[in-house]
Each structure stands twice: as C-alpha cells, then as structure tokens.
C-alpha cells in the first residue's frame, strides 16, 4: 500500500502524484492510498479529499468509462480545461487573452458511439467500462440526448438479431432532425433474414437511416441537420460537432473573429458548419478532403435561401495546402483541422497576406504549435475561447482569433 499526494491532472484527466504515479479519479491536492502496479494506482481510497470533489451526478459513474471527470466540481473542470490550453501555449511562449469558457449542458451530446454485445440471456448496449472492453449499461446516462438514450431498446434488439457472442457491435448514433442516423459496424454479415429484422427494427425505432457494416440498410427520412438554419443532409460517417450548444459557441466565435470579411476561405470545412452560415454575409470558398461532405455542403447551399456564393473544393490540405499566393484573395480564413493540426496549411497562411484567421481546434498541443507558426508569420493571437462540448471528459476544444496588425 502506498500513500501519495496528487500534484496535478494529466492530459487524460488522471491524477499524477509527485513521483509520477497515475491515479485515476483523483484531484490535485488529494492524499490517496492504494496498491500501485505498473505505475498506476487503479483503485485509490481518498484519504484527504479536495474541496473541489463532488458527488458524481450520474449513478453510472465511475463504473462506466464514458465520463472521466464527474468527481470534480464544474468550476474546477472548466478551470482545468482552460489550464490545459494555457500550458500548451506557454510551452510555445505564446501569450493569450482568454474569453470565458462555454460548456455544453448535460444530456446534449447528439453523437455517441455505443457498444452492443450478445450475452447468454440476450444483449447489452452501453459504454465501455474504464480501461476495459466490458460493456456497462447506462439507462440513466446524463451525457447523450434523450432521443439517443431512448434508442437503447432498439439497439438491444439489433444486437440480439445481428450480434455474435464473440464480437462487439459499435453503433455510431447521431441525432438529426429526421430521427436517429445509426451506423453499425462489427455485426454479423448481412443475410436476407437479418436484413428483414433490421428493416423492421429501423421502422419500429423510427430511425432516419440505418447502415450495417458500411452498407446502407434503409433510409426512412433524410438525416438532416441545420447549421444556423441552413439544412444539410449528412453523408454516412460525416463529421458533426458533438453538441448543438458547442456548434453554436464555435460558430459565434468564428463569426465574431472574421467580422466584416467579404471573401472567406473555410479550410477543413466538413459539411459546412461554418461555411454555410457565413455565406449569409460573405462569399465562401469551402475546402475539405472528403468528397461526400463537400457534395452535402453544396446541396445544402443550393437548397438554402439568401446565401452568397459558396464554392466547394475537395483537396488534401496536408499534402496540397492552399498556397500563400492562392490565399491573397481572402480577407479572412477559417481553419478547423483534425487532431494533428494543420502545419503545412498554417505555414502557407503565415507566409500570406491574409489579415484574419479564425482557428478552431480539438487539440491544444497542435493548436499551440500552429499558433507559434502563425505568430512567426506576423499574426497576433487576439483571443482564445475554450468550448467544452465533451463535458465530463478530458477532451478540450477551442476557437481563437489571429489578426495581422
């Protein structure tokens, strides 16, 4: 048995004791006691609790691994997330002014990956236990929207029909205006009987669309979302911001950042989360690596009303970034890359004359690296805002404004 004092939380939300041991479910300043194996104290007894410790709001915590930080007060978690961004920027010697964090409410996650497993008696659907492939049922989950939670019975029936005792089905469930869009992978190979069962269950569960192992099974209504009122039908597997509140906060940040710009490039544009609302006031060139998402964005624009011109380009921005010369025609650029960041593209932005960059990021470390490149190219980091759409998890997202003075 060891007794340790927690010094800080690591980037995955685990406590780190003075001498480096990882202690899940602990908070800075706490004294904990337990067995240490392989550098981890997996089941700490809390000897001296932190003043920031709270009773977890969800009864499935901490058995369910879907949430990692329910034992910390909301204000503590918000401050910790901001601190993660500050630390990443400080490591690159970048100073920043922070706007207040925006945290998505409970029960607002409109996209989640649930796991389904056949059992001797029937089937289980839920989230994985912490660091385990055991599936924990979560009938009172506080994370996902009520519509996603209500689909549990349908997913359990699907797992009975199409799951095997050996494998696990991953259900990517997205709430859309037309109902739930469900993409299942890892189920039994399709055959006529399974197809009939799945179509019946999709109807009974009022799903918008169901696909199985990458193949469409049935579309009952278009899986549409609206980006600030502009409707887009999502292609299967398309990127979508995790909560409506998070999307709104990011869009507000981006809109304020670009200000009165009339010619905007939206890089890593997805299905048009930012490009389509921005086209109410400016012409937008949207660039994205996935052709299906650009096609969805284009169809949304064609069906939209009172929008300025939007052009779409399918392009790999890691290998073929828009060059500094191509960027001359834009008076603002929005950039929202995947976790790896956008080193090649920000190098071109740094070398360009673009006066304003609105940056969205889901990785403070790659954001800080890219910020350093932009600043070396003559842009100034005007402000940063943390947007927490992955409540109770260690994920951190942000929006920021860079300006060339």
Ligand X SMILES: C[S@@+](CC[C@H](N)C(=O)[O-])C[C@H]1O[C@@H](n2cnc3c(N)ncnc32)[C@H](O)[C@@H]1O
Based on the shown chain and the rule CB under 6 A, indicate whether residue 367 belongs to the binding site for ligand X.
no
Query: Which of 50, 241, 243, 248 forms a contact with ligand X (CB under 6 A)?
Result: 241
Q: Is 67 a catalytic residue?
A: no
Tokens of 239: 């990127």
Based on the shown chain and the rule CB under 6 A, indicate whether residue 318 belongs to the binding site for ligand X.
yes
Based on the shown chain and the rule CB under 6 A, indicate whether residue 143 belongs to the binding site for ligand X.
no
Nearer to ligand X, 273 or 279 (CB): 273
Phi, psi angle pair for 399, to nearest 5°: -130, 145
Query: Which range touches ligand X (CB under 6 A), out of 86-94, 121-129, 312-320, 365-373?
Result: 312-320
Q: What is the Cα Rg of the chain in Å?
A: 23
* Gap between the Cα atoms of 174 and 7, Å rounded: 38
Nearer to ligand X, 203 or 339 (CB): 339
243 and 109 in contact (C-beta within 8 Å)? Answer: yes
Nearer to ligand X, 143 or 232 (CB): 232
SS3 assignment, position 303: helix
How many residues touch ligand X under the rule CB under 6 A: the total is: 18
Query: Which range touches ligand X (CB under 6 A), out of 12-20, 32-40, 170-178, 313-321?
Result: 313-321
Based on the shown chain and the rule CB under 6 A, indicate whether residue 104 belongs to the binding site for ligand X.
no
The C-alpha angle 76, 79, 85, rounded to 5 degrees, equals: 145
Q: Which residues contact 117 (CB under 8 A, 6 or more apart)?
A: 123, 124, 125, 135, 159, 163, 168, 169
Beta bridge partners of 180: 175
Q: How far is the CB of 340 from ligand X (least distance, A)?
A: 8
Q: How far is the CB of 265 from ligand X (least distance, A)?
A: 12
* Gap between the Cα atoms of 344 and 268, Å rounded: 13
Nearer to ligand X, 123 or 282 (CB): 282
Query: Which range touches ligand X (CB under 6 A), out of 49-57, 68-76, 92-100, 310-318?
Result: 310-318
Based on the shown chain and the rule CB under 6 A, indicate whether residue 98 belongs to the binding site for ligand X.
no
Name the nearest CA neighbour of 272 among 319, 332, 322, 225.
225
Query: Which of 29, 79, 338, 394 forms a contact with ligand X (CB under 6 A)?
Result: 338
Nearer to ligand X, 136 or 368 (CB): 368
Query: Which one is catalytic: 67, 141, 271, 362?
Result: 362
The pairs formed by 277-283 with CB atoms below 8 angstroms and a separation of 24 or more are 277/227, 277/228, 277/229, 277/230, 277/251, 278/254, 278/334, 279/230, 279/304, 279/307, 279/308, 279/309, 279/310, 280/228, 280/306, 280/307, 280/308, 281/308, 282/258, 282/308, 282/332, 283/308, 283/309, 283/310
Beta bridge partners of 128: 135
Q: How far is the CB of 227 from ligand X (least distance, A)?
A: 8
Based on the shown chain and the rule CB under 6 A, indicate whether residue 239 belongs to the binding site for ligand X.
yes
387 and 85 in contact (C-beta within 8 Å)? Answer: no
Q: How far is the CB of 290 from ligand X (least distance, A)?
A: 4
* Gap between the Cα atoms of 77 and 84, Å rounded: 11
Based on the shown chain and the rule CB under 6 A, indicate whether residue 316 belongs to the binding site for ligand X.
yes
Based on the shown chain and the rule CB under 6 A, indicate whether residue 370 belongs to the binding site for ligand X.
no
180 and 219 in contact (C-beta within 8 Å)? Answer: no
Q: How far is the CB of 250 from ligand X (least distance, A)?
A: 7
Q: How far is the CB of 362 from ligand X (least distance, A)?
A: 6
Query: Which range touches ligand X (CB under 6 A), out of 21-29, 73-81, 267-275, 351-359?
Result: 267-275
Write out the binding residues for ligand X, residues 270-299 only, by CB under 6 A.
270, 273-274, 288-290, 293
Q: How far is the CB of 141 from ligand X (least distance, A)?
A: 24
Q: How far is the CB of 251 from ligand X (least distance, A)?
A: 8
Based on the shown chain and the rule CB under 6 A, indicate whether residue 321 belongs to the binding site for ligand X.
no
- Which segments of 219-267 does DSSP mark as H helices, in order? 244-258
* Gap between the Cα atoms of 315 and 317, Å rounded: 6
Based on the shown chain and the rule CB under 6 A, indicate whether residue 174 belongs to the binding site for ligand X.
no
Nearer to ligand X, 15 or 270 (CB): 270
Nearer to ligand X, 171 or 367 (CB): 367
Nearer to ligand X, 62 or 289 (CB): 289
Q: Which residues have a catalytic role annotated?
A: 362
Residues that bind ligand X (CB under 6 A): 239, 241, 268-270, 273-274, 288-290, 293, 316-318, 336-338, 362
């Amino acid at each position: 048995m060891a007794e340790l004092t927690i010094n800080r939380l690591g980037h995955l939300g685990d406590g780190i004791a003075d001498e480096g041991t990882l202690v899940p479910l602990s908070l800075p300043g706490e004294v904990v006691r337990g067995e240490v194996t392989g550098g981890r104290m997996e089941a700490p007894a809390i000897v001296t609790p932190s003043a920031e410790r709270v009773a977890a709001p969800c009864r499935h915590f901490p058995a369910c691994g879907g949430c990692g930080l329910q034992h910390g007060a909301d204000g503590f978690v918000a401050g910790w997330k901001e601190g993660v961004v500050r630390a990443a920027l400080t490591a690159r010697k970048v100073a920043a002014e922070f706007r207040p964090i925006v945290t998505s409410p409970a029960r607002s996650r409109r996209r989640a990956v649930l796991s389904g497993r056949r059992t001797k008696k029937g089937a289980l659907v839920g989230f994985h236990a912490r660091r385990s492939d055991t599936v924990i049922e979560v009938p009172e989950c506080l994370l996902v929207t009520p519509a996603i939670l209500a689909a549990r019975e349908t997913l359990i029936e699907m797992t009975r029909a199409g799951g095997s005792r050996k494998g696990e089905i991953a259900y990517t469930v997205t709430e859309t205006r037309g109902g739930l869009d469900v993409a299942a992978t890892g189920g039994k190979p399709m055959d006529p009987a399974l197809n009939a069962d799945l179509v019946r269950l999709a109807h009974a569960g009022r799903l918008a669309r169901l696909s199985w192992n990458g193949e469409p099974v049935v579309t009952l209504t278009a899986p549409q979302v609206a980006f600030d009122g502009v409707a887009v039908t999502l292609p299967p597997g398309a990127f979508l911001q995790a909560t409506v509140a998070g999307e709104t906060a990011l869009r507000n940040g981006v809109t304020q950042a670009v200000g009165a710009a009339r010619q905007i490039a939206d890089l890593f544009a997805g299905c048009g989360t930012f490009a389509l609302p921005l086209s109410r006031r400016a012409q937008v060139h949207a660039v994205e690596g996935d052709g299906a998402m650009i096609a969805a964005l284009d169809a949304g624009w064609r069906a939209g009303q009172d929008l300025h011109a939007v052009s779409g380009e399918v392009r790999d921005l890691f290998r073929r970034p828009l060059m500094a010369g191509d960027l001359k025609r834009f008076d603002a650029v929005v950039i929202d890359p995947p976790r790896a960041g956008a080193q090649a593209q920000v190098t071109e932005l740094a070398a360009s004359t673009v006066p304003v960059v609105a940056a969205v990021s889901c990785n403070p470390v790659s954001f800080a690296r890219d910020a350093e490149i932009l600043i070396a190219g003559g842009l100034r980091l005007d402000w940063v805002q943390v947007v927490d759409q992955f409540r109770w998890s260690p994920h951190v997202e942000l929006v920021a404004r860079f300006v060339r003075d």
